[in-house]
């Protein structure tokens, strides 16, 4: 007997073709279509894979329990992390995937999209509702995307899904220091590019990525559900969900923000730097057009970025000491608008708040490692950047892409996708990229927010050197825009 289409509703307690239905709450966001399976083959598969997965999981979990006192110790045999939950939940509750991703933010969604079609079954766990993933609220963040990120988003099909009034080119960038009118300028004069980069609102990135991912046949979205506990062993990674179910996989990918709980639960330490400052973001309309120019004004005490959107609208990013947060948020729209207009020297004439204001505490995070037994970190869970160099999501995207490539190549070579060998290769490559950017950004912040006289003088000199020495300018520009993969040496001395 044949069936033309075999439908599995994972919420019915069954995720793998092999696991037969154990009715559960209908939480999953969609039906997985597994087309044109012959029933005979399916029935055989159901039986054998049920037996195998139960044996395999039992084996892995009991080993995990047996080693629960060992602690996290990458590469030295089985480890157990956060065994606050009993991994021996009922067998019918255990679900088997190749990869479980925690967090359907921009990084988790990008990773799922990068890896689709590799023949792997993925579960994407997100605590927010399906509705808020499909239609995320505006959150004040306008993300400056580098050329590399735009290239990846084009490959995803996301770039074309964005409306034309949702992506804005940055044609020039200007940096000012203190009250001085002296400007460090980045333009396209020696550079035949359309733009230095592009601005796209975070909620538009999330929405379009979600649209690309929601119908992927190899990705199951589990929404309104959070991961509450995690255990990893040489055999498998296991997560306990808030709905009581337990999922196991060959690999757990943590993409659950810079304050990642899963990172903590698998025992990966992170360096956190609290800048003691707040970032307030919003949009403002203005009388004069911005001509595609992005301004970064390192005023004393506060910094102000004015980034070009629609011709008469800009994205505003204010950073100030945390102690000023309440005052800035409590200002009326008129007070706030005229304060920004004054600080910006009325360059664009009258300015007026056109959205709500959103406040984000500024905390930089860099995980000490990007992987451990059967677990890898991506996105802000790996590196959460200070926004001044606009690298957070750009790094998240390149990291997700890098991990997906390593996994694809492991699949091609018949290797275990969750082995440390595979994960460490990702870690090595990504760390090489993130460490200098993370520490460099923190140093820039320190340098430009130090209001002592020697620092003020040093800044004046630094801006003038950068402005008058084109090779240095090229290195800075290429690093910020990711326009070129050339080494800094090749950038400084481009040759013929
Ligand atoms: C003001 C500001 C400006 C910025 N500007 C730029 C810029 O110009 N350029 C740039 O590249 N980057 C920028 N960034 C950084 C960028 O926004 C982040 O790097 C990016 O959003 C991180 O994506 P993520 O998916 O790693 O994490 P998040 O966006 O934090 O998503 C994490 C997801 O995981 C879910 N989650 C968390 N815990 C659990 C759990 N236990 N179970 C299930 N789900 C869970 C959350 O609900 C969320 O959906 C900026 C950031 C800020 C704050």
H or E element that contains 263: helix 261-265
Q: With CA atoms as reference, report the closest residue to 262 among 371, 348, 408, 410.
A: 371
397-405 mean pLDDT? 97
Question: How does pLDDT run across 128-183, given as a tens digit for each residue?
Answer: 999 999 999 999 999 999 999 999 999 999 999 999 999 999 999 999 988 888 88
Q: With CA atoms as reference, report the closest residue to 301 among 281, 278, 272, 282.
A: 278
Residue 28: the pLDDT is 38
Question: How does pLDDT run across 407-437, given as a tens digit for each residue?
Answer: 999 999 999 999 999 999 999 999 999 999 9
Q: What is the rounded distance in angstroms from the CA atom of residue 245 to the CA atom of residue 228?
A: 10
Q: Is 72 helix (H, G, I), strand (E, B) or coil?
A: coil
Question: How does pLDDT run across 195-219, given as a tens digit for each residue?
Answer: 899 999 999 999 999 999 999 999 9
For atom 38 of ligand 1, the residue with the nearest CA is: 256
For atom 14 of ligand 1, the residue with the nearest CA is: 392
Question: How does pLDDT run across 17-59, given as a tens digit for each residue?
Answer: 223 223 233 333 333 332 223 333 333 333 333 333 333 333 3
Tell whether ligand 1 has an atom less than 6 A from the beta carbon of residue 126.
Answer: yes
Q: What is the rounded distance in angstroms from the CA atom of residue 207 to the CA atom of residue 190?
A: 36
Residue 279: the pLDDT is 96
Tell whether ligand 1 has an atom less than 6 A from the beta carbon of residue 399.
Answer: no
Task: Say yes or no to pLDDT of 63 above 50.
Answer: no
Residue 228 is encoded by which pair of tokens? 């509450």
What number of residues does the chain have?
496
Residue 388: the pLDDT is 86
DSSP structure string for 295-362: EEEE-SS-EEEEEE-STTEEEEEEEEEGGGHHHHHHS-HHHHHHHHHHHTTTTTSSEEE-S--EEEEE
Question: How does pLDDT run across 239-260, given as a tens digit for each residue?
Answer: 999 999 999 999 999 999 999 9
Distance from Cα 106 to the centre of ligand 1, integer Å: 7
Tell whether ligand 1 has an atom less than 6 A from the beta carbon of residue 256.
Answer: yes
Residue 475: the pLDDT is 74
Dihedral sign, CA of 123, 127, 133, 139? negative
Distance from Cα 231 to the centre of ligand 1, integer Å: 24
Residue 431: the pLDDT is 96
Tell whether ligand 1 has an atom less than 6 A from the beta carbon of residue 379.
Answer: yes
Mean pLDDT value across the chain: 80
Distance from Cα 163 to the centre of ligand 1, integer Å: 22
Residue 446: the pLDDT is 86
For atom 29 of ligand 1, the residue with the nearest CA is: 105
Distance from Cα 147 to the centre of ligand 1, integer Å: 20
Q: With CA atoms as reference, report the closest residue to 174 among 399, 440, 477.
A: 477
Distance from Cα 496 to the centre of ligand 1, integer Å: 42
Pocket test for ligand 1, best of 104, 108, 111, 141 (most atoms within 8 A of CB): 141
Task: Say yes or no to pLDDT of 340 above 60.
Answer: yes
Q: Is 310 helix (H, G, I), strand (E, B) or coil?
A: coil
Identify the band that residue 80 occupies on the pLDDT scale cut at 50, 70 and 90: very low
Task: Say yes or no to pLDDT of 74 above 80.
Answer: no
Residue 85: the pLDDT is 46
Distance from Cα 396 to the centre of ligand 1, integer Å: 9
101-108 mean pLDDT? 98
Residue 466: the pLDDT is 78
């Amino acid at each position: 007997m044949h069936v033309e289409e075999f439908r599995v509703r994972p919420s019915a307690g069954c995720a793998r073709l092999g696991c037969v239905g154990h009715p559960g709450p209908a939480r999953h966001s969609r039906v997985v279509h597994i087309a044109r399976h012959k029933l005979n083959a399916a029935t055989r598969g159901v039986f054998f894979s049920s037996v195998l997965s139960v044996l395999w999981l039992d084996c892995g979990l009991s080993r995990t329990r047996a080693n629960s006192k060992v602690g996290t110790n990458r590469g030295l045999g089985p480890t157990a992390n956060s065994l606050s939950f009993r991994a021996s939940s009922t067998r019918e509750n255990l679900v088997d995937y190749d990869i479980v991703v925690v967090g359907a933010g921009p990084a988790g969604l990008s990773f799922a999209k990068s890896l689709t079609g590799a023949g792997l079954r993925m579960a994407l766990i997100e605590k927010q509702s399906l509705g808020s993933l499909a239609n995320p609220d505006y959150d004040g963040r306008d993300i400056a995307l580098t050329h590399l990120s735009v290239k990846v988003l084009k490959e995803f099909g996301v770039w074309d899904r964005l409306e034309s009034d949702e992506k804005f080119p940055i044609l020039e960038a200007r940096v000012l220091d203190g009250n001085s009118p002296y400007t460090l300028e980045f333009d396209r004069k020696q550079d035949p590019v359309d733009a230095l980069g592009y601005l796209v609102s975070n909620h538009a990135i999330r929405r379009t990525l979600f649209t690309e991912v929601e119908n992927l046949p190899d990705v199951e979205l589990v929404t309104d559900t959070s991961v509450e506990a995690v255990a990893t062993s040489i055999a498998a990674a296991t997560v306990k969900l808030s709905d009581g179910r337990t999922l196991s996989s060959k690999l757990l990918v943590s993409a659950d923000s810079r304050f990642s709980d899963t990172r903590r639960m698998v025992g990966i330490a992170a360096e956190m730097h609290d800048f003691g400052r707040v970032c307030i973001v919003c949009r403002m309309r203005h009388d004069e057009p911005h001509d595609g120019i992005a301004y970064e004004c390192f005023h004393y005490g506060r910094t102000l970025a004015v980034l070009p959107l629609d011709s008469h609208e800009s994205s505003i990013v204010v950073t100030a000491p945390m102690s000023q947060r309440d005052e800035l948020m409590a200002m009326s729209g008129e007070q706030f608008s005229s304060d920004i207009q004054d600080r910006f020297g009325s360059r664009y004439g009258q300015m007026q708040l056109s959205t709500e204001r959103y406040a984000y505490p500024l905390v930089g995070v860099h995980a000490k490692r990007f992987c451990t037994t059967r677990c890898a970190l991506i996105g802000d869970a790996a590196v959460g950047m200070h926004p001044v160099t606009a690298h957070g999501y750009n790094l998240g995207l390149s990291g997700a892409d890098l991990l997906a490539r390593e996994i694809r190549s492991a699949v091609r070579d018949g290797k275990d996708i969750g082995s440390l060998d595979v994960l460490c290769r990702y870690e090595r490559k990504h760390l090489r990229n993130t460490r200098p950017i993370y520490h460099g950004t923190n140093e820039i912040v320190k340098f430009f927010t130090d209001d002592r006289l020697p620092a003020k003088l040093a800044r004046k000199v630094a801006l003038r050197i950068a402005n008058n020495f084109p090779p240095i300018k090229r290195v800075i520009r290429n690093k910020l825009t990711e326009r070129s993969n050339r080494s800094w040496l090749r950038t400084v001395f481009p040759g013929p």
